[in-house]
Amino acid sequence: MLTAAPKDHTIPHALVARRAIITGLAMAPITAAVTAAAQTRHPDHDLLEAGRRYDAAVESTKATGAALSEAHEAIHKEAGKCPPILFLDDDEKSWVARPESRRFVPKLRLRWVDRVDPDTGKETSFQAWTASALRQCLPHAVPMFGPAGTTPRRIARWRAILPEAEAYDSAVAAAEARHRIGEMREADRRARRERDEAERAILRQTATTIIGLAVITRHVLSHDFSRMPPSWTALLLSAAKISGVALSRPAFDAARWVEEFEGLGGHVYRPEVHGTSGLGWPVRHDDPPEVREALSRLHQEQEENHLAIRLFIERGVTA
């Protein structure tokens, strides 16, 4: 009986070669495109990426900061007002402010609480005792202040308010746990850390194109450059014009601001007189409340409109 020879399923070498050639021809455009993309990588690629990272991180910090503020407001409402007896008295505030107090209690865990200032009628931040801070200070009272004088009164006061501090601390801790304040603070720290890292990445770069220059220009314009010399203004505005960066200059009466600032005792340095430009804020501790309030308002306006104010001082231009 004759047995049929087994069939040879091996692909001829010629066919293999033809398939390889066809596959190579088909892949050639893709390979060329990938190579071309790599070769046409933007010269300021790293700078542009850092700019995108920074912009995204800034938005994230705004969101986490707003969420944190809302949570703090809710916590303060739920925990109730801080008992007035826990606020530091004048002697305690004076002692806390002295550097030598840190020798005994290096990290005093006080609480900052907003309340209405009886002198000004405005809401202001005050320091208040926590149970932890009282426990830190009680063992060191005699070494800090001596055995006589006001020391016995201090010790008696701290012991008397300790239960109040413990109760308020517990109320705040319970409210913070309900609002997951620890997680929110960590998210805010991460967002700020990412923003700072992106900013450092921007500042490590040197722009080689108009687009890259625009990234750096926008970044500088987002900061207050009031301490830089007048030549800085010319350089920055030139960079903005060349790179096409629009200046954010909302309607603001810089002339009115400067007049009010000088009227309250502030000093304006003008290039034509002083060779430089800048602001000298008055430093007086005996100003009446209305003057302190006006200066605080001007400071806030200067933070929001520093470019308009600087242009008026240096060039007489009103935004």
DSSP 5: P
From 24-33, 53-62, 285-294, the region with the lowest mean pLDDT: 24-33
Closest by CA to 113, choosing from 78, 83, 90, 92, is 83
157 pLDDT higher than 50: yes
From 231-235, 237-241, 259-263, 291-295, the region with the lowest mean pLDDT: 231-235
Q: Which amino acid is at 305?
A: N
For the chain, the first-to-last Cα distance in angstroms comes to 108
Q: Is the dihedral of CA 137, 143, 144, 150 positive or negative?
A: positive
Average pLDDT over residues 36-62: 87
The length of the chain, given as a count of residues: 319
As a whole number of angstroms, the distance between CA 91 and CA 144 comes to: 13
Tokens 């010399």 sit at which residue?
A: 229
From 41-45, 194-198, 233-237, the region with the lowest mean pLDDT: 233-237
Q: What predicted TM-score, i.e. pTM, was given to this entire model? A: 0.65
If you average pLDDT over every residue of the chain, what do you get? 83
pLDDT in the model for residue 250: 67
From 8-17, 92-101, 168-177, 186-195, the region with the lowest mean pLDDT: 8-17
- At 111 the three-state DSSP class reads strand
pLDDT in the model for residue 48: 95
Average pLDDT over residues 214-238: 82
pLDDT tens readout for residues 127-154: 999 999 999 889 888 887 888 888 899 8
Between 28 and 206, where is the model more confident?
206
8 pLDDT higher than 80: no
- Asked whether 302 and 294 are in contact (CB, 8 A), the reply is no
Q: How far is CA 34 from the centre of its chain?
A: 40
- Asked whether 294 and 257 are in contact (CB, 8 A), the reply is no
pLDDT in the model for residue 303: 84
pLDDT tens readout for residues 249-267: 668 899 999 999 999 999 9
Show Cβ contacts of residue 199 under 8 Å, excluding neighbours closer than 6 positions: 54, 219
Q: What six digits make up the tokens of 315? A: 């060039």
pLDDT in the model for residue 33: 47
206 pLDDT higher than 90: yes
Closest by CA to 279, choosing from 222, 220, 224, 219, is 224
**Gyration radius from the chain CA atoms:** 33
pLDDT in the model for residue 22: 44
Extended strands (E) in the chain = 111-116, 123-128, 267-269, 278-280
As a whole number of angstroms, the distance between CA 253 and CA 40 comes to: 47
pLDDT tens readout for residues 69-104: 999 889 988 998 899 999 998 888 888 887 777 778
Q: How far is CA 300 from the centre of its chain?
A: 16
pLDDT over 90, % of the chain? 42
9 pLDDT higher than 50: no
Phi, psi of 275 (to 5 degrees): 80, 0
pLDDT in the model for residue 108: 84
pLDDT in the model for residue 226: 66
